[in-house]
């Protein structure tokens, strides 16, 4: 659970309240000290007054205080008591009360001690608290006469009522003064705190804007030395951040350019499988919008379960891993995926980088190669098995029967011819593929008509055999850059097929004219068409008809001496010229093959398309 944020005080109030607390402590201490001192001064003043009264009494006392002098003594004491407002008691030398008559000598336990001290000639004093009146009582006892043998002892007693009142007044005035000083000092403190905090607040605002990414902000100068240091550090940090931002921006765009120009798809995910970065190639392969996919979980964005499982493995694996995945879509694609786990600086798993490679074409080529080897082996095996079988039969004795021997040798010869035909076709195909791959097919400007006529004359004997008429319709002066023997070979293959797959006494048309490979195409071509009235080809076979060893009717093809390579040779010859081939067919009606040979020599030299 996230912890509650600490309640924070503003800097100005922090300074102000600190100052106020200090001020209050100083004021209280001063007030207390002054009060104590005032009370002491008040006590001293009262003491001096009491001593003065006692001395006045003592100085005016007659030689004898008893007997007939008693009246005048009483008058003196009464006058002084009235004028001073103090209580005056008079004792004889033995500390026996004389005036006022009838009052006990002692008013408290301390009085005995005072009187004893006075008898010994010392002035004594006491201060006590009277609980009944709630006042302090101050007493002075003074001997009069010879020290050691006093003739009388004067006691002056006064309470603190009056001095307490004036002390209280003094204290109130003093308190008012202190409060006024404190308020003024607090106001002054507030102004100072405000000024200090303003600089801090300005710097805090600048730091906040820098943290929010506003690097255009200016760092103001500060008056206080420490704050000036902070301001300088902030300015240095701002410049560094700007510099780093520029570097990161440069690196980012370089990285983006590199990733964007890669043919391989690159996908980076974090430990929680969120997409960190994805390049255009990966997004295209997975059918994603890179801007929307970033920061979203891979499991949510990618539909292919195999890729999601692969990503999980890639994050966990210590070694790089790779696998082939099939991506379903309008066109199924085989993707080679390689995954490497990413480790962050603390060594913990930080996600993975996945590289996607579209290897559909390579896998198709591998399959074609595999099929081709299997097909070649199969095609060669059949005639060889036949030859072997008949040779063994001959060796087993059939050679002695001239009729059988002749028949079997005839079969062996036909199978050997078939083998030769297959091998010749394969060699031809390989030669054409080589020139097609190298793009160095030797071309010459040749008239199409001459090439067609040569091919037709080659096929005529077979056409005559089946009573098939070959009709040629060729545009005059149609000249294209070509390799005449190869184009002648392609036309022979097509015309041969037309004869093979037609019933006797049908027609085969061979035509050539100007045209284009597709409607709207700007590239002018010579279009050579071979049309027949043969058995035709069902629609489902048409896409595969140009594959090596692909046959619609295997038995018929073999019977007719076909190798299954004829159309494949035609396709590669045309591709080597930079052209194309097409087929149209309707079962039971006929088939038309068209060769498109470009009129421009440069495109022909490009080689395979
Ligand atoms: P093949 O040596 O078997 O004729 P091709 O590559 O020349 O081999 O032809 C492939 C297959 O296409 C043939 O086996 C045949 O079934 C079909 N085919 C080719 N040309 C025609 C055509 N003119 N009419 C009908 N079928 C054809």
pLDDT per residue as tens digits for the range 23-34: 999 999 999 999
Contact 301, 275 (CB under 8 A): yes
- CA-to-CA distance for 340 and 353, rounded, in angstroms? 5
- Segment among 82-86, 130-134, 362-366 with least mean pLDDT: 130-134
Rounded CA-CA distance 542/207 in Å is 74
* Residue pLDDT, tens place only, 540-592: 999 999 988 888 888 888 788 788 899 999 999 999 999 999 999 999 999 99
488 alpha carbon to ligand 1 midpoint, in Å?
Answer: 18
pLDDT per residue as tens digits for the range 375-424: 888 888 988 999 999 999 999 988 888 888 899 999 999 999 989 988 98
Question: Distance, CA 161 to ligand 1 centroid (Å)?
Answer: 143
pLDDT at 353 over 80: yes
Residue 143 to residue 119: CA distance in whole angstroms: 7
The pLDDT value given to residue 69: 64
Residue that has been written with the tokens 């005080």 in this structure:
9
**CA 101 from centroid of its chain's CA atoms:** 107
Q: Count how many residues are written for the chain.
A: 609
Cα atoms found within 13 Å of the Cα of residue 384, Cβ hemisphere only: 8
Transcribe 399-452 into DSSP letters: GGSHHHHHHHHHHHHHHHHHHHHHHHHHHHHHHHHHHHHHT----EEEEHHHHH
Neighbours of 89 (CB within 10 A): 23
Q: What is the DSSP letter of 297?
A: B
pLDDT at 110: 56
- The whole-angstrom separation of Cα 609 and Cα 606 is 8
Buried b (16+ CB within 10 A) or exposed e, 361-380: eebeeeeeeeebeebbeebe
Measured in Å, residue 536 CA sits from the centre of ligand 1 at 9
Give distance in angstroms: CA of 379 to centre of ligand 1.
16
Q: What does residue 148 show for φ and ψ, rounded to 5 degrees?
A: 95, -30
Q: Nearest 5°: phi and psi at 605? A: -75, -10
Per-residue pLDDT of 247-274, as tens digits, reads 988 998 898 899 888 889 999 999 888 9
d(CA 580, CA 573): 9
The H or E element containing residue 544 is: none
d(CA 298, CA 267): 10
Work out the percent of the chain whose per-residue pLDDT is above 90: 39
Is 80 exceeded by the pLDDT of residue 502? yes
Q: Which residues line ligand 1 (CB under 6 A)?
A: 493, 497-498, 501, 532, 534-537, 545, 550-553, 557, 562-568, 591
Q: How far apart are CA 260 and CA 278, in angstroms?
A: 9
Burial class (CB in 10 A: 0-12, 13-18, 19+), 567: buried
Any idea what DSSP says for residue 538? -
What is the residue with the minimal CA distance to atom 20 of ligand 1?
A: 497
Residue 330 CB contacts under 8 Å (≥ 6 apart), including other chains: none
Q: 141, 124 in Cβ contact below 8 A?
A: yes
Which two structure tokens, joined as six digits, stand for 197?
A: 């905090």
444-472 as b/e: b if 16+ CB within 10 A: eebbbbebbbebbeebeebbeeeebebee
Q: How far is CA 98 from CA 75, 103, 397, 601, in A?
A: 13, 9, 188, 161
Q: Please state, rounded to an integer, the average pLDDT across all residues of the chain.
A: 86
Q: Atom 23 in ligand 1: which residue has the minimum CA distance? A: 498
Atom in ligand 1 nearest the alpha carbon of residue 557: 3
Q: Whose CA is nearest to atom 16 of ligand 1?
A: 552
Is it true that the peptide bond before 373 is cis, omega within 30 degrees of 0?
no
**Tens digits of residue pLDDT in 174-218:** 999 999 999 999 999 999 888 888 888 888 888 898 888 888 888
CA-CA-CA-CA torsion sign (188, 190, 194, 200)? positive
The whole-number pLDDT of residue 64 equals 67
Which of 546, 545, 554 is closest to 573 using CA atoms?
A: 546
Task: Give me the pLDDT at residue 5, please.
Answer: 60
Q: Report whether 512 contacts 452 (CB < 8 A).
A: yes
Mutation pick for ligand 1 pocket among 537, 573, 583 (CB with most ligand atoms within 8 Å): 537
Q: How many CB atoms lie within 10 A of CB 414?
A: 14
Q: Comparing 94-103, 260-269, 424-433, which segment has the lowest mean pLDDT?
A: 94-103
Which ranges in 268-359 belong to alpha helices (H)? 280-286, 290-293, 298-301, 305-316
Atom of ligand 1 nearest to the CA of 551: 14
Minimal-distance CA residue to ligand 1 atom 2: 562
Q: How far apart are the first and last CA of the chain?
A: 65
Q: What is the greatest pairwise CA distance in the chain?
A: 206
Residue 112 pLDDT grade (very low, low, confident, very high; cuts 50, 70, 90): confident
| Index of the ligand 1 atom closest to the CA of residue 554 | 14
Per-residue pLDDT of 435-456, as tens digits, reads 877 777 888 999 999 999 999 9
Rounded to whole angstroms, the Cα distance separating 462 from 480 reads 28
pLDDT at 67: 62
Indicate the pTM of the whole model. Answer: 0.52
Q: Where are the beta strands (DSSP E) in 27-111?
A: 87-92, 97-99
Question: What is the CA 316 to chain-centroid distance, rounded?
Answer: 20
Strands 275-278 and 444-447: unpaired
Q: Tell which residue, 365, 439, 361, has the closest CA to residue 609.
A: 439
CA torsion sign for 432, 435, 437, 439 is: negative
């Amino acid at each position: 659970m996230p912890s509650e944020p600490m309640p924070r005080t503003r800097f100005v109030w922090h300074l102000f309240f600190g100052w106020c607390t200090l001020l209050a402590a100083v004021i209280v201490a001063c007030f207390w000290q002054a009060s104590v001192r005032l009370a002491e001064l008040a006590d001293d003043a009262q003491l001096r007054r009491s001593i003065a009264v006692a001395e006045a009494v003592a100085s005016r006392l007659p030689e004898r205080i008893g007997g007939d002098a008693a009246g005048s003594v009483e008058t003196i004491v009464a006058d002084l008591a009235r004028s001073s407002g103090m209580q005056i008691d008079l004792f004889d030398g033995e500390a026996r009360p004389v005036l006022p008559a009838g009052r006990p000598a002692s008013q408290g336990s301390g009085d005995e001690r005072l009187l004893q001290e006075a008898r010994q000639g010392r002035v004594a004093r006491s201060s006590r608290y009277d609980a009944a009146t709630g006042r302090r009582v101050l007493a002075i006892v003074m001997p009069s006469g010879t020290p050691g043998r006093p003739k009388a002892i004067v006691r002056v007693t006064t309470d603190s009522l009056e001095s307490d009142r004036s002390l209280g007044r003094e204290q109130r005035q003093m308190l008012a003064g202190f409060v006024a000083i404190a308020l003024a000092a607090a106001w002054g403190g507030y102004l100072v705190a405000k000024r200090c905090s303003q600089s801090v607040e300005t710097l805090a605002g600048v730091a906040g804007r820098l943290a929010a990414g506003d690097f255009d902000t200016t760092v103001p100068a500060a008056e206080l030395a420490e704050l000036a240091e902070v301001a300088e550090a902030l300015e240095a940090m701002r410049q560094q951040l700007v510099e780093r931002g520029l570097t990161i921006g440069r690196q980012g765009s370089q990285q983006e350019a590199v990733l964007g120009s890669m043919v391989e798809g690159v996908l980076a995910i974090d430990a929680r499988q969120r997409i960190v970065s994805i390049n255009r190639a990966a997004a295209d392969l997975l059918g994603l919008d890179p801007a929307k996919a970033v920061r979203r979980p891979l499991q949510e964005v990618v539909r292919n379960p195999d890729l999601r499982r692969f990503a999980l493995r890639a994050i966990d694996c210590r070694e790089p891993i790779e696998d082939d995945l099939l991506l379903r879509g309008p066109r199924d694609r085989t993707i080679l995926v390689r995954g490497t786990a990413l480790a962050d600086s603390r060594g913990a798993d930080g996600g993975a980088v996945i590289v996607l490679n579209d290897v559909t074409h390579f896998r198709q080529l591998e399959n074609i190669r595999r099929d081709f080897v299997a097909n070649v082996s199969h095609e060669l095996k059949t005639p060889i098995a036949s030859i072997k079988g008949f040779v063994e039969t001959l060796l087993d004795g059939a050679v002695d029967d001239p009729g059988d021997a002749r028949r079997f040798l005839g079969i062996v010869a036909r199978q050997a011819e078939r083998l030769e035909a297959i091998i010749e076709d394969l060699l031809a195909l390989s030669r054409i593929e080589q020139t097609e791959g190298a793009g160095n097919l030797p071309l010459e400007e040749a008239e199409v008509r001459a090439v067609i006529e040569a091919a037709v004359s080659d096929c005529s004997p077979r056409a005559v055999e089946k009573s098939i008429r070959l009709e040629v319709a060729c545009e005059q002066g149609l000249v294209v850059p070509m390799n005449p023997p190869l184009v002648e070979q392609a036309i022979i293959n097509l015309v041969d097929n037309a004869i093979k797959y037609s019933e006797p006494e049908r027609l085969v048309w061979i035509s050539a004219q100007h045209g284009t490979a597709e409607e709207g195409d700007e590239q002018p071509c010579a279009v050579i068409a071979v049309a027949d009235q043969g058995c035709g080809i069902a629609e489902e076979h048409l896409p595969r008809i140009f594959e090596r060893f692909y046959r619609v009717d295997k038995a018929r093809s073999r019977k007719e001496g076909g190798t299954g390579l004829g159309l494949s040779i035609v396709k590669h010859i045309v591709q080597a010229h930079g052209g194309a081939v097409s087929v149209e067919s309707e079962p039971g009606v006929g088939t038309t093959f068209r060769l498109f040979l470009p009129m421009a020599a440069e495109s022909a030299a490009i080689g395979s398309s």
